[in-house]
Amino acid sequence: MDKLVIEGGVSLNGPIRVSGSKNAALPILLACILPEGPICLSNVPRLRDIHTTLKLLDILGCETSFDGNTVCSEVKDLKIEAPYDLVKTMRASVLCLGPLLALKGEAKVALPGGCAIGARPVDLHLTAFEQMGATFDLDSGYIHGKCDKLKGAHINFDFPTVGGTENVLMAAAIAEGETIIENAAREPEVVDLAKFLIACGAKISGHGTSIITIQGVPSLKGCDYKIMPDRIEAGTYMVAAAMTDGELLIQDCPFQELESVVYKLRKMGVSLEEEEGGVRVRRANGLISGVDITTQPYPGFPTDMQAQLMTLMCLSNGAGTIEEKIFENRFMHVQELVRMGANIKLKGRTAMIRGVEKMTGAPVMASDLRASASLVVAGLAAHGRTDVQRIYHLDRGYEKLEDKLSAVGARVWREQE
């Protein structure tokens, strides 16, 4: 098993390019089931979850290729079953449910590993499809759905679920009649999926707002499409620049989609300026201030940037709080940061952070994707050596991270444990 070794205390300086968004690429890849004819997607990040999704597409009857950062896919003989050995490693694979029901009238998709219905919003997906005419059985860990022909419906989500919105968006594109999604997720990745479907011939309006309207069409056609840049990767580099008191020019930065993060970083004393070629990030006056943050669905502050901002607050001149309102158990990184010298107290879903003068390198263990990113950022600024274990989490969401960081001055490399 690999670990990441970081010799901290070095400022990061220079240009750093943001890869394509994994969270946009995954639903768009699964939407490749829908159109007739070939599809070419560019700016696709080379990540483990992407490779898993391509395996799933192959099993479902697509012909796929992955050359550089371009994926080409075409449906040849569509099957209806997504097996457990693939789905267990990646929750996003439940997004093939909508396209399969819409095209084949039947889908058999394994429940993601450890995911009981009700514990995560898989039930929101199923309730929506039931409104569109599908019926479901839960059989030996599989969701087995059937329908004659999905029909448009008025769907009002209890919570603006990203996956639920994406699943219904795909199915409704070729369902019979009009579908209206109220309390729809507004995330940029949902908007990117809608733009892809529109490029394939779908009739969608309202994407990016809380009410999306879809007029079903008989069929979709293939197209060429470029995946949006990864806003969370870009946000992570913003924090890394401020954390190490360096200056980064972040290229291919989706600046408008990071408005809530940029607002908080500026309040903390970080300068972020758009210019030709990217966004230049550095400390405004040398000091970092604490702020109060509450995670919310988009356009609120993203839960996926919570751990990184907490890490920056650890070196602030003052104190701040973070209230996590999206996920439970999203503070797994706190004890690891404390091992590096951070002053953090937890009370329920709120973390109270008081800044310290310096952090010290230590062996730490990543518990999830964003926690691992926060530990890498902490290691970049810490005095001495930090070993980040379990970086397979990191490999799920960051393309060539150590190569990109090394190119802007970081002393970071991969070792086998």
Does 96 participate in catalysis according to the annotation? no
Q: Binding site annotation covers 22?
A: yes
The span from the CA of 47 to the CA of 34, in Å, is: 23
Q: Binding site annotation covers 304?
A: yes
Q: Binding site annotation covers 156?
A: no
Q: Binding site annotation covers 390?
A: no
Tokens standing for residue 163: 């996956």
Residues linked to residue 345 through DSSP beta bridges, in sequence order: 352
Phi then psi dihedrals of residue 132, to 5 deg: -90, 0
Instruction: Determine how β-strand 270-275 pairs with β-strand 203-205.
Output: unpaired
Q: Binding site annotation covers 160?
A: no
How many C-beta atoms surround the C-beta of residue 117 within 10 A? 14
Q: 153, 200, 256: which is closest to 33 by C-alpha?
A: 200
Among residues 40, 72, 115, 223, the one annotated as catalytic is: 115
The span from the CA of 36 to the CA of 34, in Å, is: 7
Q: Binding site annotation covers 122?
A: yes
Residues linked to residue 351 through DSSP beta bridges, in sequence order: 322, 346
Q: Binding site annotation covers 245?
A: no
Residues linked to residue 64 through DSSP beta bridges, in sequence order: 73
Q: Binding site annotation covers 124?
A: yes
The span from the CA of 293 to the CA of 295, in Å, is: 7
The span from the CA of 356 to the CA of 338, in Å, is: 11
Tokens standing for residue 27: 């639903």
Tokens standing for residue 296: 């919310």
The span from the CA of 360 to the CA of 341, in Å, is: 6
Range 190-206 burial, b when 16+ CB lie within 10 A, else e: bbbbbbbbbbbbbebeb
Half-sphere CA count of 408, side-chain side, radius 13 A: 24
The span from the CA of 33 to the CA of 39, in Å, is: 10
Annotated binding-site ranges: 22-23, 91, 120-124, 304, 326
Binding site for phosphoenolpyruvate, by residue number, is 22-23
- Which residues are annotated as catalytic? 115
Residues in the annotated binding site for UDP-N-acetyl-alpha-D-glucosamine = 91, 120-124, 304, 326
